[in-house]
Structure 1
């Protein structure tokens, strides 16, 4: 019998992006205020930490902190270039508005990556186990190479005793931080059938690697290298022939996903070029693998809805699908 999850969008702040840093052939003067979306995923199984509950509540990404003073000075200097910023409602407020208490009702919190506009306020989730990409805990303390020095991260963001790192990506990218093994008592908080993690091919893909979280094909973690070390996506099965693909920062503009624009390159300040991705070629490879998988599913009669973290057009057209509504 097939198992499905429900996915609900969550408002988690907005920021403003200069188009020239993100897409090719950009208007050099255009700045666009976009969401930093979070998502609530509900799986029909009792979580280990709340055996009386009938479903496991998962949040994917936490968006922007409601209190910008919670960022480090270097982060705040960067944030000053992304104004205007909207911080209300944040992820926790959006959950409360739909009747969930972030302090007690969220079992797993998954972060696509730990950039400032995705890490939100983890302290709002004191009962949650955090699931992050490999190298995340090291990156919080030591950074990830010259483009992402340590001062761009806050080492105290995540509780090590409640944080699980996924296995290292099967794609090598520069300046990948070291993997931190998971404490045994933290592993005990995972679903009972998931004591270990291992990347295996996503069914239907020859390039994407995945972890079937509940071992029932309802929710896959996707290894999505390129943007930042440890970057992950989610694929959720929401109906008999329907997937929702939560793409995080695989790209920052829907026109890149559709192929109408490319990933912008700009000066790295050292005589070279860079993009918003730590490894541009790996990011392009991830996108190509995603497109191939989606096209293959659609040829087989599936519907696949792609939702990017910063898609302003999707946000404007889907207001009724935010929690307590669903996709």
Structure 2
């Protein structure tokens, strides 16, 4: 799979004079088992792989301008993995989970945090890439955190998203209503756009992505609109050191070989006489993959006014990454 877009130069924002850098640590979020044929093509129809649902702790230190204002490091988690207690899933969700066995739920995000000396009460913000069952975890663990989700997510939780994504596959009470906010609509006409409980951020183009939000306002962490997989699906692009960035791709794809071009997104019978993929909008997901692909190391990626930079891309279910990077789980860092 190739595209002329992969040859385009990608330019990331230059660091500021007193640039803030975030620290990222991987967190355990449980494991689930995926049949290869539903996710990639060509595929071995008999192959099933048990893969992680990777989550991440992102720590944002106070800027030099706020050091004298008793500011503290903000602790943000991106995705929460699987629930450790499956009774928290609805019946239709549990039917789906039964097709993803074996699963493991220990250690989960909370246990992973505690193993590194943190409590869930220490977490300030939880950002969910999307609200599929293997990413929502147990939000009630995080009693002090504000939850941030992509626009359209709260409507999806309450009402579902069409015949292939009925409300029975979601839990309307998944998130704490008084501490949950959506990012603003990317466009005014976006389906299921919410006009309540919306953050005051602004979307702007970034590095070939049509819409991204400078979450802390200092160029250290961007939330990227990554349409295709599910309503409100977002990714994270973070600046971790001079010339070093990390892109957390969530479920933009479920196999790293799709990003490399070795495989394509699989299509299969939707049960209604047509074809579907694991993505709500396959064409949208394909475009998102193309944009993420341009960040890979072999592509030409620079910072404004500077030289080549390194961008590490990590997707949520990359078992190979998990195997190679055990030392980068909290309290280790990427």
TM-score (norm 1): 0.90
User: How many Å separate the matches in 1 of 2:245 and 2:230?
Assistant: 25
User: How many Å separate the matches in 2 of 1:79 and 1:180?
Assistant: 33
- Alignment partner, residue 177 of structure 1: 192
- Alignment partner, residue 132 of structure 1: 149
- Alignment partner, residue 198 of structure 1: 202
Q: Tell me if the contact between 1:137 and 1:180 (Cα under 8 Å) persists in the aligned partners.
A: no
1:84 pairs with one of 102, 105, 125: 102
Q: Tell me if the contact between 2:295 and 2:311 (Cα under 8 Å) persists in the aligned partners.
A: no
Q: Tell me if the contact between 1:94 and 1:323 (Cα under 8 Å) persists in the aligned partners.
A: yes
User: How many Å separate the matches in 1 of 2:103 and 2:88?
Assistant: 15
Whether 2:19 is the aligned partner of 1:15: answer no
Q: Once the two structures are superposed, what CA deviation does each residue of 1:140-198 show, in whole Å capped at 9, x if it has no partner?
A: 1100111100000011110111111011234978xx43415117xxx6xxxxxxxx111
- Alignment partner, residue 93 of structure 2: 75
- Alignment partner, residue 164 of structure 2: 147
Q: Tell me if the contact between 1:208 and 1:286 (Cα under 8 Å) persists in the aligned partners.
A: no
**SS of match in other structure, 2:99:** helix
Please list every run of 5 or more consecutive structure 2 residues that lacks an aligned counterpart in the other structure.
1-17
- Alignment partner, residue 12 of structure 2: none
- Alignment partner, residue 309 of structure 2: 302
Number of paired residues?
308
1:33-112 aligned at under 5 Å gives the runs 33-45=50-62, 54-102=72-120, 104-112=121-129
**SS of match in other structure, 2:114:** helix
2:139 pairs with one of 122, 128, 131: 122
Q: Tell me if the contact between 2:181 and 2:197 (Cα under 8 Å) persists in the aligned partners.
A: yes
User: How many Å separate the matches in 2 of 1:82 and 1:119?
Assistant: 16
Give the C-alpha shift of residue 296 in structure 1: 3.8
- Alignment partner, residue 278 of structure 1: 280
Q: Once the two structures are superposed, what CA deviation does each residue of 1:267-290 show, in whole Å capped at 9, x if it has no partner?
A: 000000000000000011111122
Give the C-alpha shift of residue 52 in structure 1: 5.5
User: How many Å separate the matches in 2 of 1:141 and 1:319?
Assistant: 37
Q: Tell me if the contact between 1:62 and 1:111 (Cα under 8 Å) persists in the aligned partners.
A: yes
Give the C-alpha shift of residue 58 in structure 1: 0.2
Give the C-alpha shift of residue 297 in structure 1: 1.6
Q: Tell me if the contact between 1:208 and 1:289 (Cα under 8 Å) persists in the aligned partners.
A: no
TM-score (norm 2): 0.88
- Alignment partner, residue 256 of structure 1: 258
User: How many Å separate the matches in 2 of 1:305 and 1:293?
Assistant: 8
- Alignment partner, residue 13 of structure 2: none
1:215 pairs with one of 209, 217, 224: 217
Q: CA RMSD in A?
A: 1.9
Please list every run of 5 or more consecutive structure 1 residues that lacks an aligned counterpart in the other structure.
188-195
Q: Tell me if the contact between 2:23 and 2:58 (Cα under 8 Å) persists in the aligned partners.
A: yes
Q: Tell me if the contact between 1:224 and 1:250 (Cα under 8 Å) persists in the aligned partners.
A: yes
User: How many Å separate the matches in 2 of 1:114 and 1:22?
Assistant: 19
Task: Point out which structure has higher relative CO (alpha carbons under 8 A, 6+ apart).
Answer: 2
Q: Tell me if the contact between 2:150 and 2:231 (Cα under 8 Å) persists in the aligned partners.
A: yes
1:320 pairs with one of 301, 310, 327: 327
User: How many Å separate the matches in 2 of 1:263 and 1:85?
Assistant: 23
